[in-house]
Amino acid sequence: MNKVIDASCHPFKTQKAKEEYLKLYDDRAKRWPVASTTKMVNTAYGKTFVRISGLDIGEPLVLMHGVGGNSLQWMSNIESLSKQYKVFAIDNINDNGRSIPVKSISSTNDYISWLDELFDKLGLKEGINIVSLSYGGWIASQYALIYPERINKLVLLAPVGTVAQLSLGWVARAVLVALPFKYFSRKFVYWLAEDTLKYRKNGHSLVEEHIDETFIAVRSFKGKRMVNPTVLSDEELNNIEVPVLFMVGENEKIYSPGNVIERLNRVAPKIKTRLIRNAGHDLVIAQPKIVNDSILEYLSVRADENKT
């Protein structure tokens, strides 16, 4: 006998799991530090949740989060960024959050098509600034290769793939997070967010909050397969037409920060690079002021000056 699927709880495993996760999500969202509106945008791949903050007449700034997260990853950054821009913080259609996928994302082209349609539906035709973290950085870099004419500037914050393969240490730990035991979520996040614990006054509570969300998400959502983040060739990196700022923490664990900066400086010197002290893959949380100031400074410079 075929099992009846309750479509009302998709993409969650059960209605109870849906309620538990969304309560946690909504409780966190209440602490979003600036005024915002939300929108569910229909695309061919499903409904994409977008949180909009900042100046109505400001230049568009799109925020794309890392894997296993959602738009609330930008809680430490949104107040600063929204003072000068109209900010669209997106829940990835194929990840945790309030977006509801109806069609599989199984290739790079799927992500590009989804993002392009989303921009159309949001009325973002051109002049788009994108700030992207980790997996979001990989998606954004792939989009920039295909639709450079729509992007004003691109900021890549420790993108997965893109410049280097993931380290074996990261892969080995990340695989264990998929197991339904909080021990593995805690061990992974504490390892990845060491600098937040060291340098943020409330670092322990921030990390514990992230652990709770990671664990509940693993327990609540149906399993999903993420597209493998590929590494761009030397030619592809050099052929990115839009101005790019690449930032990475000095204690990055997904790859060697020194090696990726050396590679970019060698094969794509027009990409600007910055090493963030006292930060790793948690750079947007561990050192929010430095990251925010670097982003705003880069975006404020005319595009033609960034190319020199």
Q: What region does 81 belong to: left with phi over 0, alpha with psi -120 to 50, or beta?
A: alpha
Over residues 29-68, the pLDDT tens digits come to 999 999 999 999 999 999 999 999 999 988 999 999 999 8
pLDDT, position 303: 54
159/150 Cα distance (integer angstroms): 20
pLDDT digits (tens, 9 = 90+) for 279-297: 999 999 999 999 999 999 9
Beta carbons of 41 and 50 less than 8 angstroms apart: yes
Q: 7-306, what's its fold?
A: Rossmann fold (3.40.50)
The answer, yes or no, to whether residue 177 has pLDDT greater than 70, is yes
In which band, very low, low, confident or very high, does the pLDDT at 20 lie, cut at 50, 70 and 90?
very high
pLDDT (0 to 100) of residue 5: 40
Helices 203-220 & 15-29, crossing angle to 10 degrees? 160
Of 110, 99, 157, 109, nearest in space to 133 by CA: 157
Dump pLDDT digits (tens) for 205-245.
Answer: 999 998 899 889 989 999 888 899 999 999 999 999 999 99
281 CB-near residues (< 8 Å, 6+ apart): 134, 158, 192, 193, 249, 252, 253, 254
- Ranges assigned E (strand) in the chain: 36-43, 46-54, 59-64, 85-90, 100-101, 128-133, 151-157, 244-249, 272-276
Instruction: Indicate if the alpha-carbon torsion angle 231, 234, 235, 236 is positive or negative.
Output: positive
Q: How far is CA 267 from CA 140, 225, 246, 262, 300, in A?
A: 19, 32, 14, 9, 26
Measured distance between the N- and C-terminal CA atoms of the chain, rounded to whole angstroms: 66
Helix or strand or coil: residue 42?
strand
Q: What percent of the chain has pLDDT over 90?
A: 81
Is there a contact between 55 and 37 (Cβ–Cβ < 8 Å)?
Answer: no
Close Cβ partners of 38 (under 8 Å, ≥ 6 residues apart): 49, 50, 51, 52
Domain boundaries of the chain, sorted by first residue:
7-306
Question: What's the pTM value of the predicted model, to 2 decimals?
Answer: 0.93
DSSP 111-172: HHHHHHHHHHHTT--S-EEEEEETHHHHHHHHHHHH-GGGEEEEEEES-SSBTSPPPHHHHH
